[in-house]
A and B are shown apart, each in its own frame.
Chain A
Amino acid sequence: MKLRQLALATAVAAAGLSSALLPSVATAQAKDQFFPVLVYRTGAYAPNGVPWANGYVDYLKLTNARGGVNGVKISYEECETGYATDRGVECYERLKGKGATVIQPLATGITFALTEKAPNDKIPLITAGYGRSESQDGGVFKWNFPIAGTYWIAGDIIIQDIAKKNGGFDKLKGKHIALVYHDSPFGKEAIPILQERANTHGFKLSLLPVTAPGVEQKSTWLQIRQQRPDYVINWGWGVMNSTLLKEAQATGYPRDKIYGVWWAGAEPDVKDVGEGAKGYNAITMQHGAEPNAAFVKEIMEKVHAKGQGTGPKDEVGSVLYVRGAMSAMFAVEGMRRAQERFGKGKLITGEQMRWGLENLDLPQAKLDALGFKGVMRPISTSCQDHVGSAWGRIHTWNGSKWEFTSDWYQADEMIIKPMVKAAADKYAAEKKLTRRSAADCQS
């Protein structure tokens, strides 16, 4: 009986406290630009989610340490999605209510769900390097911004690198490439571009799905052992990547013939395998591990040195950390751009933020000033093109760290453009949407 009363009292107290506390948290943020941070610091994909989140938050802290955006400070709140779509939607609704003007879903499933919600709520989505590839087409996907890369761009560049290593696209004829992919919308994103390339160049493409989360790959590797493809492309993620590399080691498949997507090209993916992963390649959506970049040093100086850093110091500058920081930078620069038009030093709305992201212009000089020299190439988005820069590089694990092993590649617009347009048109037809008019682009 006593236990029950105790529980009852706790429940009542909890209800009372929460109703007293929650509103006060929300009102404290009225004067700052509020950035929601959807993260997964727990669950199967946490090893990759944590550095991303740390980088994202650290960059926001750095922006505040730099004096905000024309004096406007940034406030933020994290929300744990655990990579589950329904929790992600809940987080979105929660943080939307606190004045979110831009959101980065950080999961393909959540991106798909929010793509349907964002236009009604007038909140732009940034999916830097992930999300749905056809959302590059700003004419249909007005609120989606896959800035600086999509999965189709990534796939295209991987094929370009393979072609270069073989001495030209004509040498790809008769080759055999196997795509080992995470069996989810994320993994399947790669298929259309690789099929397109396979048809053009006449190489054989085998599709080998791996059931999420990807620890069971024995049958996949049996197939690889039988078929001996010339190259393996790994469209995996989280625990799937290290499993894949271990299986490759066990099968004796040369690691330098394996290419990973950028989610499969960070330190947590290869660390466990160490020497065994030596030679493994991965596409980078522009940046790799950048411990020497100017902005990383600035974060160490202005954030970590003051004891305000997020996460461990030695992870600062790792691949996914830089990814998080870069994603935050896009949002911050979108906000700065919007302020240039709608009033410097003012809070901006979701619609203004959307304009800022659509007219984002980051030439080399600006990137250098932000501390991103050598990390990435200039970005310029437009109404039709929400990517802004379709470049990438390949980096290779040398047993202890990631090193760039290729020059810059630009994804082939001639191939990707029509694909994006066709897919976007299909989406528009399904949704009975019309393309944005030229006048809408001006607004």
Chain B
Amino acid sequence: MFYRENGQFKTSYRADQQIFAIAQDRWAILVLIAFAALGVPFLADEYLFRAILIPFLILSLAALGVNILVGYCGQISLGSGAFMAVGAYMAYNTYIRVEGMPLIVALLSGGFFATLVGMFFGIPSLRVKGLYLAVATLAAQFFCDWAFLRVGWFTNNNASGSVSVSNLSVLGWNIDTPLQKYWFCLGFLVVFGLLAKNLVRSAIGREWMAIRDMDVAAAVIGIRPVYAKLSAFAVSAFIVGVAGALWGFVHLGAWEPAAFSIDRSFQLLFMVIIGGMGSIMGSFFGAAFIVVLPIFLNQFLPALGALAGVEISTATVAHAEAMIFGALIVWFLIVEPHGLAKLWSIGKQKLRLWPFPH
């Protein structure tokens, strides 16, 4: 009734090919972005910004990058944590080694080096597929863990191997307060989200999807697997690298290789699988699920216990959190193997038929 595209006629190819073909969608997304940029600052407190929203934005960006590789191009990667680490450490090195380096250029250079590393570790994808590729990309993870722990140059020869940055500013605009950090991350996310959405709609995105769906058939119709696979690795690693740099610079402030361990790689892969493979929207759902849910459970369970008059110990909460979280992952995968994004699109579909969905 409210959500129907009846009467919205397209009179040009341009109008037909826009990202959101339905006017309601277009408005909804604009309102959402406007709300995120202008409305949220009035509603959120510091805790919400620094502990939930900023990590959510940065990991959404990372999940977006992983989704391009895993969801769109079908190349399973367990090296995403490594690409994040490369982004963070190389951004750090460009930032401190070059006098007067602008922050954004440093962050992007982190992405650039992640691209190089991503393409290098993407080379095995030309010969191996599926699980075997996942194992091959694990090499990236172990190699980067090793390099950042052992090679002193990367950490500016800090005795402890931990690096830190502070006093960030862009063109005289200081990024200190949680709100400024939030806006900064949101800006990156919007730009990269738009970029990614357009990439996957373009010729190159279609090549990735063709490779994903059947690489032999794709090769037969003239898609070069080398080019398609490596470009997916490059784009993915670039976005993941920038996300890693943001994670280090904006969220943590000081980090060590453990911040980008194998756990992070798994986390990103889970985000993509739970959120929805091959869906930009899914990256956001997945990130929200993985970032917010454990924190929510962690605070909600003691409160629930207090309501029932039971004091739940910290350890019990932590265990229960892991159990409920795990159970929910299984539940979502059984109910909707295509991820939360699919649930979302089913919801939209039903809304179009409302009030009589079938």
Q: Which residues of A contact B (CB under 8 A)?
A: 3-4, 7, 14, 17-18, 21-22, 25, 39, 41-42, 46, 50, 53, 78-80, 82, 84-86, 89-90, 93-94, 96-97, 108-109, 112-113, 115-117, 120, 132, 183-186, 188-189, 191-192, 209, 212, 423, 430-432
Which B residues are in CB contact (< 8 Å) with A212? Answer: 258
Are A42 and B319 touching (Cβ within 8 A)? yes
Are A94 and B47 touching (Cβ within 8 A)? yes
Beta-carbon contacts under 8 Å, B136-174 to A: 149-150, 156, 159-162, 164-167
Give the contacting residue for A41; candidates B47, B50, B253, B314; CB below 8 A.
B314
User: Which stretch of B112-120, B300-308, B349-357 is in the interface?
Assistant: B300-308
Are A185 and B251 touching (Cβ within 8 A)? no
Give the contacting residue for A112; candidates B51, B255, B296; CB below 8 A.
B255
Give the contacting residue for B315; candidates A42, A132, A189, A432; CB below 8 A.
A42
Beta-carbon contacts under 8 Å, B197-232 to A: none
Query: How long is the Cα–Cα vector from A183 to B257 in the complex, in angstroms?
Result: 10
Are B258 and A78 touching (Cβ within 8 A)? no
B45 at the interface (CB under 8 A from A): yes
B345 at the interface (CB under 8 A from A): no
Are A39 and B160 touching (Cβ within 8 A)? no
Are B166 and A431 touching (Cβ within 8 A)? yes
Give the contacting residue for B253; candidates A46, A117, A191, A423; CB below 8 A.
A117
Query: How long is the Cα–Cα vector from A112 to B256 in the complex, in angstroms?
Result: 9
Are B296 and A116 touching (Cβ within 8 A)? no
Which B residues are in CB contact (< 8 Å) with A18? Answer: 296, 299-300, 303
B298 at the interface (CB under 8 A from A): yes
Please indicate which of the listed interface residues B96, B258, B296, B299 has the most CB atoms of chain A within 10 Å of its own CB: B258
Give the contacting residue for B303; candidates A25, A93, A112; CB below 8 A.
A25
Which A residues are in CB contact (< 8 Å) with B126? Answer: none
Are A113 and B166 touching (Cβ within 8 A)? no
Are B258 and A96 touching (Cβ within 8 A)? no
For this complex, 21 residue pairs linking A to B, each with C-beta atoms less than 8 Å apart, are: A18-B296, A41-B313, A41-B315, A86-B55, A89-B50, A93-B46, A93-B47, A93-B50, A96-B46, A97-B47, A108-B160, A108-B256, A109-B162, A184-B161, A185-B160, A185-B256, A188-B159, A188-B161, A189-B159, A209-B150, A432-B167
Are B46 and A97 touching (Cβ within 8 A)? yes
Q: In the complex, how many angstroms separate the beta carbon of A97 from the nearest chain B beta carbon?
A: 4
Decide yes or no: A185 and B161 within 8 Å by CB, A21-B306, A109-B258 being known contacts: yes
B335 at the interface (CB under 8 A from A): yes
Query: How long is the Cα–Cα vector from A18 to B45 in the complex, in angstroms?
Result: 16
Are B167 and A431 touching (Cβ within 8 A)? yes
Decide yes or no: A116 and B166 within 8 Å by CB, A184-B256, A209-B149 being known contacts: yes
Query: How long is the Cα–Cα vector from A116 to B253 in the complex, in angstroms?
Result: 6
Are A90 and B295 touching (Cβ within 8 A)? yes
Which B residues are in CB contact (< 8 Å) with A41? Answer: 313-315, 318
B259 at the interface (CB under 8 A from A): yes
Main secondary structure of the interface of B (DSSP, over half): helix
Q: In the complex, how many angstroms separate the beta carbon of A100 from the nearest chain B beta carbon?
A: 12
Beta-carbon contacts under 8 Å, B154-196 to A: 156, 159-162, 164-167, 176
Q: In the complex, how many angstroms separate the beta carbon of B287 from the nearest chain A beta carbon?
A: 13
Q: Nearest residue in B to A423 (C-beta to C-beta)? A: B159
B252 at the interface (CB under 8 A from A): yes
Q: In the complex, how many angstroms separate the beta carbon of B296 from the nearest chain A beta carbon?
A: 7
Are A116 and B314 touching (Cβ within 8 A)? no
Decide yes or no: A116 and B164 within 8 Å by CB, A18-B299, A89-B252, A96-B47 being known contacts: yes
B134 at the interface (CB under 8 A from A): no
User: How many CB-defined contacts (below 8 Å) exist between A and B?
Assistant: 128
Decide yes or no: A89 and B296 within 8 Å by CB, A18-B303, A82-B318 being known contacts: no
Q: In the complex, how many angstroms separate the beta carbon of A311 from the nearest chain B beta carbon?
A: 9
B254 at the interface (CB under 8 A from A): yes
Give the contacting residue for A189; candidates B160, B255, B307; CB below 8 A.
B160
Query: How long is the Cα–Cα vector from A217 to B143 in the complex, in angstroms?
Result: 19
Query: How long is the Cα–Cα vector from A112 to B161 in the complex, in angstroms?
Result: 11
Are B299 and A89 touching (Cβ within 8 A)? no
Which A residues are in CB contact (< 8 Å) with B307? Answer: 17, 21
Besides A94-B47, A113-B252, 15 more A-B contacts (Cβ < 8 Å) are A17-B303, A25-B303, A85-B252, A85-B256, A85-B258, A89-B51, A90-B51, A90-B52, A90-B295, A97-B47, A109-B258, A115-B164, A191-B159, A209-B149, A430-B156
Query: How long is the Cα–Cα vector from A29 to B118 in the complex, in angstroms?
Result: 50
Give the contacting residue for B45; candidates A42, A90, A97; CB below 8 A.
A97
Are A115 and B254 touching (Cβ within 8 A)? yes
Query: How long is the Cα–Cα vector from A3 to B334 in the complex, in angstroms?
Result: 12
Decide yes or no: A112 and B164 within 8 Å by CB, A80-B318, A120-B176 being known contacts: yes
Which B residues are in CB contact (< 8 Å) with A93? Answer: 46-47, 50-51
Query: How long is the Cα–Cα vector from A14 to B328 in the complex, in angstroms?
Result: 15
Are B46 and A183 touching (Cβ within 8 A)? no
B317 at the interface (CB under 8 A from A): yes
Which B residues are in CB contact (< 8 Å) with A192? Answer: 159
Are A80 and B298 touching (Cβ within 8 A)? yes
Which B residues are in CB contact (< 8 Å) with A117? Answer: 253
Are B252 and A25 touching (Cβ within 8 A)? no
Query: How long is the Cα–Cα vector from A363 to B166 in the complex, in angstroms?
Result: 38
Are A430 and B51 touching (Cβ within 8 A)? no
Q: In the complex, how many angstroms separate the beta carbon of A427 from the nearest chain B beta carbon?
A: 8
Which B residues are in CB contact (< 8 Å) with A4? Answer: 335
Which B residues are in CB contact (< 8 Å) with A191? Answer: 159
Which A residues are in CB contact (< 8 Å) with B159? Answer: 188-189, 191-192, 423
Which B residues are in CB contact (< 8 Å) with A25? Answer: 303, 306
**Among all A-B residue pairs, the 5 with the closest Cβ atoms:** A116-B253, A41-B315, A93-B51, A21-B303, A185-B160
Query: How long is the Cα–Cα vector from A399 to B317 in the complex, in angstroms?
Result: 35
Which B residues are in CB contact (< 8 Å) with A97? Answer: 45-47
Are B162 and A112 touching (Cβ within 8 A)? yes
Q: In the complex, how many angstroms separate the beta carbon of B275 from the nearest chain A beta carbon?
A: 17
Which B residues are in CB contact (< 8 Å) with A3? Answer: 335
Query: How long is the Cα–Cα vector from A4 to B258 in the complex, in angstroms?
Result: 38
Q: Nearest residue in B to A18 (C-beta to C-beta)? A: B300
Q: Nearest residue in A to B247 (C-beta to C-beta)? A: A86
Which B residues are in CB contact (< 8 Å) with A113? Answer: 252-255
Q: In the complex, how many angstroms separate the beta carbon of B319 from the nearest chain A beta carbon?
A: 6
Query: How long is the Cα–Cα vector from A21 to B296 in the complex, in angstroms?
Result: 13
Which A residues are in CB contact (< 8 Å) with B255? Answer: 85, 109, 112-113
Q: Nearest residue in A to B317 (C-beta to C-beta)? A: A80
Q: Nearest residue in A to B160 (C-beta to C-beta)? A: A185
Q: In the complex, how many angstroms separate the beta carbon of A175 from the nearest chain B beta carbon?
A: 23
